[in-house]
């Protein structure tokens, strides 16, 4: 039996934390292990665990899955959050698209979704980034959207903007 490295992000801590669990563990076992990483005195009521870029919305079905089936070779990345969904709005070219995403959804995946929704070709999507509306902040592609919102405000607005180019 071996262990799987799991990288945990949460609205309750700013840095990514690491937990190791048995490769035969279930997602429910992982959630119990991840809860031990929370700061002392944190109320864990209502916290949901979502797996990076995973589309499984049924928490009960997801909790029975085995970690060894989640592509553990690159490490499993998860997110603990009180928001089960983050309402994401993306604005581009005078249009707006909205979609709920799990907190562990990466900005890169949301950018791909938005680009397709706005009819951009793959090469054009790659030349754009998501920028938090009303700011100059452009989160990295591997950032979980859950790190950008705090419960009870489970929503965020982005603008899809051209990426900065350096000519030279």
Domains of the chain: 3-81 (3.10.20.90), 86-162 (3.10.20.90)
The structure's pTM equals 0.91
pLDDT at 56 over 80: no
Average pLDDT over residues 98-111: 97
pLDDT at 73 over 90: no
Distance from C-alpha of 61 to C-alpha of 79, rounded to nearest angstrom: 17
CA distances from 11 to 16, 116, 125 (A): 11, 29, 29
By C-alpha distance, which of 98, 105, 84 is closest to 151?
A: 84
Question: What percent of the chain lies above the pLDDT cut of 90?
Answer: 76
């Amino acid at each position: 039996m071996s262990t799987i490295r799991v990288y945990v992000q949460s609205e309750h801590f700013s840095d990514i934390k690491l937990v190791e669990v048995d490769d035969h563990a279930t997602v429910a076992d992982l959630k119990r292990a991840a809860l031990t990483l929370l700061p002392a005195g944190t109320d864990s009521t209502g916290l949901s665990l979502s797996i990076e870029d995973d589309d499984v919305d049924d928490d009960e079905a997801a909790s029975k899955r085995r970690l060894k089936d989640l592509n553990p070779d690159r490490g499993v990345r998860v997110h603990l959050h009180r928001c089960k969904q983050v309402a994401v709005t993306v604005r581009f070219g005078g249009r707006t698209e909205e979609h709920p995403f799990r907190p562990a959804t990466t900005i890169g995946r949301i950018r791909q979704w938005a680009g397709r929704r706005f009819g951009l070709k793959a090469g054009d999507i790659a030349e754009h980034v998501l920028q938090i509306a009303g700011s100059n902040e452009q989160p990295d592609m591997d950032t979980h959207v859950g790190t950008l919102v705090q419960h009870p405000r489970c929503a965020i607005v982005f603008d899809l903007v051209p990426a900065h180019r350096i000519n030279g």
